[in-house]
Amino acid sequence: MGTIAKIDQQTTSVTRWSEPSLPDKLSAVVDMGLNLSEMPVVGPISAGHLRTYIEASTPPAPQIGQIETMLAKLSIALPKKLVSDQEAGERLDLYWQALRGHALPDLQQAFMVLLRTCRFFPTIAEIEDAVKAIRGPRARRLSAARLLLLKHEREWKPTGELLTPEEARQLGGILAQALASAADQG
């Protein structure tokens, strides 16, 4: 009577995701907590790294079965109020509505924290608090990376003069000769 969820073996698969990395220097700038005016203007290579980081920084969203499984495991491990099957279904629906906007890795980490720290089955507010603590550092890094990329797009100017078409052809000829002679010697 009154189980909050059933564990479905098909939905217990582990979803692997990890935050993408940045080169050390960019990572240090992102972690400094600078505001836009204090940030350095990065060049095009660093901007490329930032774009890749931003695109890959969206973790997967949970599916209802995954949240149901996490809740079921918590309900097994922690004391809870006995409720009817109908109320348990409604409660699961409420938890799903409230938690589905969070990233799956954040929810998984939050549930592990709650499993170790809660004395009773957690409320939605307790789960939300645990998720915020986990999501915060990643969200700050992502926001800083977006600001750094924005600063690049607004303020970066190439140093030096660009090659004229004639200079580019001459340089191409020089490189072609060098490559041909290297191939002959090799």
pLDDT of residue 15: 59
pLDDT of residue 107: 94
Q: H-type helices in the chain, by residue range?
A: 24-31, 44-56, 64-77, 85-99, 104-117, 124-155, 165-185
pLDDT of residue 66: 93
* Residue 112, in any domain of the structure: yes
* Residue 15, in any domain of the structure: yes
pLDDT of residue 20: 86
* Residue 169, in any domain of the structure: no
**Which residues, 6+ apart, have CB-to-CB distance to 75 below 8 Å?**
3, 4, 5, 121
Distance in angstroms (rounded) separating the CA atoms of residues 79 and 75? 7
Tokens of 148: 């750094």
pLDDT of residue 7: 43
Domain range for 72: 9-155
Other beta carbons less than 10 A from residue 9's beta carbon: 7
* Residue 174, in any domain of the structure: no
pLDDT of residue 113: 95
Looking at the structure of the chain, the number of domains it has is 1
Q: ∠ CA(69), CA(97), CA(59), 5° rounding?
A: 65
* Residue 180, in any domain of the structure: no
pLDDT of residue 161: 76
* Residue 185, in any domain of the structure: no
* Residue 2, in any domain of the structure: no
pLDDT of residue 89: 87
Question: Is the four-CA dihedral 134, 137, 139, 142 of positive or negative sign?
Answer: negative
Tokens of 39: 């940030």
User: pLDDT 10s per residue in the chain (186 long)?
Assistant: 344 444 444 444 555 778 888 999 999 999 998 988 999 999 999 999 999 999 998 889 999 999 999 998 988 888 877 878 888 889 899 999 999 999 999 999 999 999 999 999 999 999 999 999 999 998 999 999 999 999 999 998 887 777 788 888 988 888 888 888 878 886
pLDDT of residue 157: 87
Other beta carbons less than 10 A from residue 83's beta carbon: 15
